[in-house]
Chain A
Amino acid sequence: MAKAKLATVWLEACAGCHMSFLDVDERIVSLLEKVDIMYSPVVDSKEIPKVDVGVISGALGNDEEVHLAKKMREQCDILVAWGDCAVFGGINTMRNFMPTKEVLEKAYIDTVSTVNPKGVIPGEDIPELLPKAIPIDQVVKVDVYVPGCPPDADTILWVFQELLEGRIPKVPADMMRYD
């Protein structure tokens, strides 16, 4: 039987969701017998290939992330929103209370730990911020939502197993968490 193809992408988030995925420990071996990870922060590939399941962790905060989210949607059959940032916007939404100009000034000039005497804000060659950080389903259609900051390893594994069985899982109450 051909292996299922999986791609995961890390957008505006802290890497916690991928770290939590690694907490499946040795169970990853049996998972990899059934799944090929085609594209992921832990895999060296440049373009998202055609896959069965695409997973997005992180919110959308700039135009590159919107591009990647759309690309992922195009390339996958089933799209999973992974973690609070992808599902709700998460901690990134803390910046939604100020205009983007102020966000950049705060990050690159105002914070106490920053040394930037010329007050340079990087602008060229880097993606432009969206007015607000938003959950991914405001841009792309999502098939499976897995909230949690991060979701438990068991929950992540359960979702993949359900998908491998050909079902579209809905996280039950005893597995769901928002923190």
Chain B
Amino acid sequence: MKEITLTIDGKVCKGTHGDTILGVARKNGIDIPTLCFLEGLTPIGSCRMCVVEVEKNPKLLTACTTPAQDGMVVHTKTETLHNYRRQVLELLFAGRNHFCMYCSQSGDCELQRLAIEHGMDHVRYPFLYSDFENDATHPEYQVDHNRCILCLRCIRVCAEKVGAHTLDLKDRGWNAKVISDLGKKLGESDTCVSCGACAQVCPTGTITIREFAYRGRRSDCDDIVESVCPLCGVGCKIKAYVRTGSVVRVEGTTTDQPDGGQLCYKGRLELPRSTERDRIHVPMIREGVHYREATWEEALSLVAENFKAAHEADKAGALVSSICTDEELSVFSALFRDSLGMKRLDTFDGDILRGFMKGFEPFRKQGVRPFTAAHNILESDCIVNLCANPDEEAPVVASYMRVGVLKNEASLINVSSWDNPFEGITDVDIRLLSECGDPALLDSLTKAIIALRMSEEDLGKGTEALNDYRKYVQQTASLVDMDVDEVEQLVLKLSKAKKPVFVLGSNVSKNPLVVQAAVNLAIASKAFFEDGIGVVPLVVSSNSLGTVNTVLADEAWLGKEDLDFMYVFSTGMIPEDEDSLAAISRTKFVVVQTPYLVHPLVNMADVLLPAPAWYERSGHFCTIEGERRRLNVVVPPKGEVRGLASVIQEFASALGVELGSPKAVPCEQLFGSEKAPQNAQIVELEEVSL
């Protein structure tokens, strides 16, 4: 990149060709006030706060959109500019309702801050008192158009980062108004995914989150804790604002980050809600149909007594939530697996994870990483949704996919046996005739692509390859509701794509062959990313991958036989599935450790132990974004809640067992790659090792 030099406020500043004046100024520590600008969103220069004077140019220029040029002499702090900016602010204040005393954002408002900084002690223009509506139809968010300054940040973040493009602008001039869909109320919108990104970027009190309104300004908060959302495999980074021990606001990172700083509705709203749920404060022991409070010593010795007998008879099991940190999981593993040699240890999402891992196994053996970070979907030009329902499984992944299509012009192929979750933006929609758990379609597509490549590359075997190609195209067509032409188009699309990516839903992964077939298809279509093969597995929680070498069982055991003892650790954040609950209820003696009164799980317990909630713990999560992310204590635990590690420690001593040091390998090491994904070989599907 060509380096350029310009003078800003008398200082010689270096920048790169393509930078804006604002970009160069910020790089060189010169502050230019901005309002509509937000790093990571397309700059539009609409608010005129960032105007600067450029010598030899008669007009004032917006620093956020004007490309910096070599030799420019820029002034950012002249009296003219100050007056002009103050005038802009006064016009904004006069335009709509910007009376701060009854606004929930007062003190957090960027418009207010700028006005104060510019010494706006009154407004020289008559107020318009324009009367816009206050749209309170959405259950979580409120839009008061009277407080809008038309910076369009919400519209841009919704289109460019969330990919929903729910918001847009209606009318012109002072009548302009942000609308959802084609003029519907926000609560009635079909496209809104309720993620709240618009509220996070809103500089004024226009779009606000009910949950957070009037609960305290950012500056009033005692602490801002950076942590990780545990509720899906992505593990988005969150910023939690804590005031007097309660969570008053949750935000994503900033819009210039790879994930766009977004959170989904779960990530934004579940944390404050999970601090308000009914908790279990003390250990409890069942007596008949009632529970009575007990001391930790009494409860743990009762647990130990029942466990010993069951363990000797090989009738004990332990089931652990995957919303545990790597550190906690390794303590579980150290006790149950290493010290006690227990085989029956698993997580609630064990079946899904075992499917993924068994499907990935042949490729991991080759030394390649058979999956890629979810945000790499944004680099792809052809996104394939394989029986996933990202809007529910991992909403931020759905955002990546929509942005991939709408902004980066990738094509989207949906394969599912149910309704297409990306209706309207899909290029090819393949409706499976059989259930999603059948690898045959992926296998014949893989073979068709290989044959097509052979026919193009190898002249010697061209005819044979072409015959193969026709055979597999025919076979594919027979598996789905498509004719041969359409299949040919599909095969062509996949083989021509530069960086295809395959998003794999959790409901197909219970059959490892589907996972393996998907990786094969990814290899055949050359889905190679820097960190691994272009498959994004939608695992259940943000530390599902961390369970792989700690508590995940080699084979499913839950429900196969009735046990005498079961220890269950639930975080109460993801509902237990019916099969697990049925198996737990058939066990003779059940110990449930959980932070919340989760029904019906707690009703099955013979001993109920309190646990710290996820936001009261710390450690590391191994996310599908390929990063080990740190979970931090947002609010410290109250009452007689003890940390998981200390409970396990005491349980071990009650059993008279020595707890060895945890042996788990950090997950980067576990999922690290020795070879570039280009070296991966397709592994023929076999009906073995299931």
Contacts and interface: CB of A to CB of B under 8 A. Distances in A.
Interface of A: 81, 84, 87-91, 93-94, 96-97, 132, 134-135, 137-138, 142, 145-147, 149, 170-173, 176-179
Nearest to A81: B122
B116 A84 contact: no
Contacts of B99: 84, 88-91, 93, 178
B121 A176 contact: yes
Nearest to A150: B101
15 contacts: A84-B101, A87-B121, A93-B99, A132-B129, A134-B127, A135-B127, A145-B121, A149-B100, A149-B101, A171-B119, A176-B116, A178-B100, A178-B101, A178-B106, A179-B106
A171 B107 contact: no
Nearest to A132: B129
A57 B122 CA distance: 14
Contacts of B106: 178-179
B116 A97 contact: no
A12 to B, nearest CB: 14
A23 to B, nearest CB: 17
Given A138-B126, A176-B116, A176-B121, 19 more contacts: A84-B99, A87-B121, A88-B123, A93-B97, A93-B99, A96-B127, A135-B122, A135-B123, A135-B127, A142-B122, A145-B122, A147-B121, A149-B100, A172-B119, A178-B100, A178-B106, A179-B100, A179-B106, A179-B112
Interface of chain A, main secondary structure: mixed
Contacts of A172: 119
Nearest to A86: B122
B131 interface: yes
Contacts of B119: 170-173, 176
B458 interface: no
Given A81-B122, A138-B126, A145-B122, A91 B116 contact: no
A178 B117 CA distance: 12
B119 to A, nearest CB: 6
A125 B665 CA distance: 86
Interface of chain B, main secondary structure: loop
A89 B126 CA distance: 11
Contacts of A97: 129, 131
A176 B115 CA distance: 10
Interface string B84-95: 000000000100
Given A91-B101, A145-B121, A178 B112 contact: yes
B204 to A, nearest CB: 12
A173 B117 contact: yes
Contact of B121 (A132, A138, A170, A179): A170
A163 to B, nearest CB: 15
Contacts of A81: 122
Interface in B549-605: none
Contacts of A94: 102
Contacts of B112: 178-179
Contacts of A178: 99-101, 106, 112, 115-116
Nearest to A172: B119
Q: Which of B93, B100, B117, B131 has the most CB of A within 10 A?
A: B100
Q: Which of A96, A132, A179 has the most CB of B within 10 A?
A: A179
Contacts of A134: 127
Contacts of A146: 121
Given A173-B117, A178-B101, A178-B116, A93 B129 contact: yes
A142 B122 CA distance: 10
A138 B126 CA distance: 8
A89 B94 CA distance: 11
Contacts of B131: 97
A87 B122 contact: yes
Contacts of B117: 173
B123 A177 contact: no
Contacts of B101: 84, 90-91, 149, 178-179
Contacts of A135: 122-123, 127
Interface string B231-244: 00000000000000
B369 to A, nearest CB: 53
A31 B107 CA distance: 31
Contacts of B97: 93
Contacts of A90: 99, 101
A88 B97 CA distance: 11
Nearest to A95: B129
Contacts of A89: 99, 127
Nearest to B102: A91
Interface in B101-121: 101-103, 106-107, 112, 115-117, 119, 121
A179 B122 CA distance: 14
Interface string B119-156: 10111001101010000000000000000000000000
